[in-house]
A = this chain, B = another copy of it.
Amino acid sequence: MEFAPKDPDWQARVRASFSAQKFMAHLGAELVHLAPGAVDLELKLRPEVTQQHGFFHAGATTSIADSAAGYAALSLFAAGIGVLTSEFKINLLNPARQQILLARGRVVKPGRTLTIAKADVYGLDDGTQVHVATGLFTLMGVSGVRD
């Protein structure tokens, strides 16, 4: 689907907001792709993001999925409207034991109040790709919150 951003500065705004998410820096997530309604984040495997079996923790997988979906939504918001996650659901499809996680957030339906987005997370090793998780997210545009 093709989306038209309402804010001419949407790219700068999304990048600035992502940079302001200290949690993303703490995890080590990077913004690797940005288009209207579409944001990809990447996270490298290191001990700090693992659970007890050495795989990516479901919370880490989910966190980058949530930020990817949230920024996909924010990319379509008007200037002065911030983004909050209202709710989401995620299915963990395969163990996340690859070297890199790629979370692809995509807007499914933009809206005045609520925007619905999905995120798919893939685990990448040399030449292989595993579908690690898929989720649905409801994002809310809020005018009192700057992004």
A interface residues, how many (CB within 8 angstroms)? 54
Shortest A91–chain B CB gap in Å is 4
A58: interface (CB < 8 Å) = yes
A134: interface (CB < 8 Å) = yes
Kindly supply a per-residue 1/0 record for chain A positions 76-113, scoring 1 wherever the CB is within 8 Å of any chain B CB and 0 otherwise: 00000010111111111111000000000000110001
Contact indicator A89/B136 (Cβ below 8 Å): yes
Contact indicator B89/A146 (Cβ below 8 Å): no
In chain A between 22 and 56, which residues have their CB closer than 8 angstroms to a CB of chain B? 22-24, 26-27, 47-53
Contact indicator B66/A58 (Cβ below 8 Å): yes
A7: interface (CB < 8 Å) = no
Contact of A109 among B20, B60, B93, B140 (CB under 8 A): B93
Contact of A59 among B23, B53, B93, B138 (CB under 8 A): B23
Contact of A136 among B18, B67, B85, B91 (CB under 8 A): B91
Query: How far apart sit A120 and B27, CA to CA, in the bound complex (Å)?
Result: 24
Residues of A at the B interface (CB closer than 8 Å) are 17-18, 20-24, 26-27, 47-53, 57-60, 62-64, 66-67, 70, 82, 84-95, 108-109, 113-114, 116, 118, 131, 134-136, 138, 140, 145-147
